Amino acid sequence: MLTRFFPLLCGIVLGLASAAVAASSSPANAAGAGADSPRIPAERLQRLDGFLEHATDAQGYLGAVSLVWKDGAIVQSQAYGNRDLARSSPMRKDSIFRIYSMTKTVTTVAALMLMEEGKLSLDDPVEKYLPEFAGMQIFAGGSADKPDLRPATAKITLRQLLTHTAGFATAGNEEATKLLERADLHGSADLAEFSKRLSKVPLAVEPGTRFRYDGTQMEVVARIVEVVSGQRFDDFVQQRILAPLRMEDTGFSIPPAKRDRIVDITAMDADGKLRLDQGPSALHPGEMLNPYPSGAGGLYSTAADFMRLCRMLLDGGTLEGVAILDRKTVEQMMVNQLTFLERPVTQFSDAEGFGLGGSVLLDPAGKGRLGSAGQFGWSGAASTYFSIDPRERTISILLLQHLPNGAANDLPRIGTPFYNLIHQALTP
């Protein structure tokens, strides 16, 4: 499936894209761009349009929404393909997507707001807010049925939760991971139960000694937000972040009147055909993705809504006069926090580190990315992407709705070529 994109990508690099002239100059493509938008040569945006049109044709993704912000204005806004498996309902710019792990950036903002209010510190031990995490044990050997345990010598901190260095089990520690799986964390009725179940599972390594990305740590952050604020996590997010930023189509559930805008979520069959995923969200779109408001991956959103969150971060914590975070706090979000670890610090790439709520690009060439070092962003499990380039003053958002399985016949991941096409288009 990947090979079907190679000819197009080669053509893009060489400047090929004449087939999309009408699309890039149409009202649909220009919608949302202000009169003071930076003037981008049409042929440069044609390359991006051509790529995404091809990626969402009859053999590709169902559809996509892209949105690009540069120097204070929208420079590209477009919907491609369809939002349903039958390919009968055209994608809309206000289509609603499950953004999964992009939720982690919102959860991080929530915790940092409370930090700025003096209600918590990033280096506080988690047990200060959640006593069940006192006296954590380390899985030192044996099996899941007969584990050898020893006391942890360090306490888990909030900063370690935010940077995925708390020491919980993930792939590579199979026996310890079995204990995590047996805890049935996702069966928890609320975040309080999730945290209590997790606290009974031994750590795989000492806190602060390695990076391993997983969602459990951000659910604990969400629970800390509840305890410190005295509010349910979803209520805090709605009242303190989504409403002030006017992210009106974002939430842990979607009202029935808006659910026709939710995009079908697909997976690839063994025979190479797209099918509707069989998860609860696919079968009941708009309902909560978990029994609890998941700080790790529970939000639905739109490109326009998430752009408002990104604009707030790009502008140092304030959007249209609404202050969410201090500028210095945002700077800390976008700085690699893993300098105490030897590279490669993540299991993804030696070219990136991790800040608070997202990755930080350390070596663009090593990652195969154009643009500047210091780009901040993340992705979601269902093929959603965002990137903020503070130096170039650019925000790039691409939303699709497909769960990749890594098989040879699966659809190719297109985040990196999407970002590169944008930088090619915006570079004078």
Residue 322 lies in a domain: no
Closest to 78 (Cα-Cα) out of 9, 20, 39, 13: 20
Within this chain, do residues 264 and 366 fall inside the same structural domain, yes or no?
yes
Range of the structural domain that residue 148 is part of: 109-232
Within this chain, do residues 143 and 13 fall inside the same structural domain, yes or no?
no
Residue 165 lies in a domain: yes
Residue 411 lies in a domain: yes
Q: What is the largest CA-CA distance in the chain?
A: 67
When comparing pLDDT for 6 and 97, which is higher? 97
CATH number at residue 180: 3.40.710.10
Q: Any idea which residue has 């909560």 for tokens?
A: 288
Which contiguous run of DSSP H or E holds residue 376? strand 376-380
For the four alpha carbons of 370, 79, 1 and 260, in that order, the dihedral sign comes to positive
**Distance (Å, rounded) from C-alpha 106 to C-alpha 297?**
10
Residue 317 lies in a domain: no
**DSSP-based three-state secondary structure for 386:** strand
Within this chain, do residues 169 and 114 fall inside the same structural domain, yes or no?
yes
Q: Are 126 and 220 in contact (CB under 8 A)?
A: yes
Residue 65 lies in a domain: yes
pLDDT at 38: 59
- Name 39's Cβ contacts closer than 8 Å, sequence gap at least 6: none
Residue 318 lies in a domain: no
Residue 418 lies in a domain: yes
Closest to 377 (Cα-Cα) out of 77, 102, 96: 102
Q: Are 80 and 87 in contact (CB under 8 A)?
A: no
Within this chain, do residues 228 and 158 fall inside the same structural domain, yes or no?
yes
Within this chain, do residues 366 and 421 fall inside the same structural domain, yes or no?
yes
Within this chain, do residues 38 and 158 fall inside the same structural domain, yes or no?
no
Within this chain, do residues 61 and 113 fall inside the same structural domain, yes or no?
no
Within this chain, do residues 44 and 134 fall inside the same structural domain, yes or no?
no
Mean pLDDT (the chain) is: 90
Does the pLDDT value for residue 313 go beyond 70?
yes
Amino acid, single-letter form, for residue 392 = E
Closest to 337 (Cα-Cα) out of 107, 123, 120: 123
Last residue of some domain: 169, 197, 232?
232
Q: Which residues pair with 379 in a beta bridge?
A: 385
Does the pLDDT value for residue 253 go beyond 80?
yes
pLDDT at 34: 44
pLDDT in tens, 26-67: 333 333 444 455 567 778 889 999 999 999 999 999 999 999
pLDDT in tens, 336-390: 999 999 876 777 888 999 999 999 999 999 999 999 999 999 999 999 999 999 9
Within this chain, do residues 374 and 268 fall inside the same structural domain, yes or no?
yes
Strands 97-98 and 73-81, by their bridges, are unpaired
Residue 191 lies in a domain: yes
**Distance (Å, rounded) from C-alpha 116 to C-alpha 111?**
9
Q: Are 51 and 60 in contact (CB under 8 A)?
A: no
CB < 8 Å & 24+ apart, contacts of 173-179: 173/139, 173/204, 173/205, 175/139, 175/142, 175/143, 175/144, 175/147, 176/139, 176/144, 176/147, 176/202, 176/203, 176/204, 177/204, 178/144, 179/139, 179/144, 179/147
Number of domains in the chain: 2
Within this chain, do residues 196 and 277 fall inside the same structural domain, yes or no?
no
Within this chain, do residues 269 and 224 fall inside the same structural domain, yes or no?
no
**Distance (Å, rounded) from C-alpha 410 to C-alpha 262?**
23
How much helix, strand and coil, in percent to the nearest 5, is found in the chain? 35, 15, 45
Within this chain, do residues 135 and 224 fall inside the same structural domain, yes or no?
yes
